[in-house]
Amino acid sequence: MIASKNPLSFTEMKLKNPTLFAAFLIISLVLSTQVLSQEVEDEKEFDYNKGSDKGPENWGKIHKNWSACGEGNMQSPIDLLDEKVEVLHHLGRLKRSYKASKAILKNRGHDIELEWENGAGAIYMNGTEYILKNCSLELHMVHESIDKKTAVVGILYKIGRPDTFLSELMGYIRTIADRHEAKEEVGIVDPRHIKLGSRKYYRYNGSLTTPPCTEGVIWTIIKKVRTVSREQVKLLRDAVHDGYESNARPTQPTNYRMDEKEFDYIKGSDKGPENWGKIHKNWSACGEGNMQSPIDLLDEKVEVLHHLGRLNRSYKASKATLKNRGHDIELEWENGAGERYMNGTEYILKQCHWHSPSEHTIDKLHMVHESIDKKIAVVGILYKIGRPDTFLSELMGDIRKIADRRDAKEEVGMIDPRHIKLGSRKYYRYNGSLTTPPCTEGVIWTIIKKVRTVSREQVKLLRDAVHDGYESNARPTQPTNYRMVHLYRPLRL
């Protein structure tokens, strides 16, 4: 998802062609001080020499907490070729509100860093605000957010005219050149002088490119290639004087990454339901499991039991967040929203999400519960087109706010799960699995027998909100494999 097959940064330079190279002005939107404290600033702990005991191929062995460098499956950088790219129109523009702020220039030994004392404004992604904290003149612009995630925006360069932002800092960089850990106050510096040059960008999920190689980093690469002068590149390399021809980590395996989608619902697709079990080793249950969900609930296969008992609930209103997960909309309660009791076990209500069309033949809501020993129980409610669902009606406005914005979140305050109407004491019960990868088995499924109603507008909003391009986000029904399905029906006195 990069305009060049060999994306490079000022610290990731591979000068294979003496007259042309690409470099990143990497804008690291690091969202937590915890991540910042993990970044290694002493280049003596690791190096970039191939075959060295401290080289990139051995980073994961140097410290226990650097293991992701060798074992991670979502590492950066990766070779992003245009033929692997999926064009999406709904990601949205990069919204920035930067401001001029007081800054200090630092020589960290392996790069030059510009640090804003009290932040320098913000950038917005998926509804989240990231405060600009520093930029290392590879460059990394580091932002911090309350939810402790990391994102990186990169700008590609080739040799040409000087970069105007770097030109502002050249004199200060010379002052701290070849002086490890030197600092220089540079007064007020305006990050708005960093030019992106294009609204088009690539995006993928990756990691930090230096130890500890922490994963979960959102990478955003600006498509347009800008220019930097030879003098500027030489000054940045000579200033740190680390003795390496480059300080670039080699490209890492893509490991099936293609934009944000690891699996899809398209029949016949390489990432479709029939192939989920082949995508990752720990997803093998999706293809090999004997207790998979969903299944076809036909009355003639059902055994009626009167002793299962009513569904005992003690739900409560709790603070919740609405999330766009790309394949569905999820409502998550921060600290649980009360309990439900099954077979003498207490299960805490954690979240609910919607599937359309339903995986048990009609539209469906999943209420996901978890016990203290991490067992899962799901209560499913079936819907047909009719009157609007009252619980969904409470959330329609907030769902619109995160519509078409993958990974967007919206705090929705106190939400009461008691507003979710079951409408019947009768229910089906069987043992199954999660209906998305990794398809973990051992899930207790409870499907309310009565079919409730939902409006066409509500169904359309839920589908359009995720904008995943699929007609449905429902896994096909799985073989019952002789499993017994029970129907609870209260005894009539």
Which pairing describes strands 140-144 and 112-116: parallel, antiparallel, or unpaired?
unpaired
Residue indicated by tokens 């509100």:
97
Q: How many residues does the chain have?
A: 493
- Taking the C-alpha atoms of 3, 9, 10 and 15 in order, what is their torsion angle to the nearest 10 degrees? -70
CA angle at 21 for the pair 15 and 24, rounded to the nearest 5°: 105
| Residues near 139 by beta carbon (within 8 Å), at least 6 away in sequence | 9, 10, 24, 25, 26, 27, 114, 194
Distance CA 266, CA 451 (A): 27
Q: Does the active-site annotation cover 140? A: no
Instruction: Reduce the DSSP state of residue 98 to 3 states and report it.
Output: strand
Residue indicated by tokens 């019952």:
480
Single-letter residue type at 44: K
Residue in 110, 143, 327, 366 annotated catalytic: 327
Distance CA 465, CA 220 (A): 22
Asked if 153 and 94 count as a contact pair (C-beta separation under 8 A), the reply is yes
Q: Where are the alpha helices (DSSP H) in 280-388?
A: 285-288
Count H helices and E strands in the chain, helices first: 9, 24
- Which active-site residues does the annotation give? 327
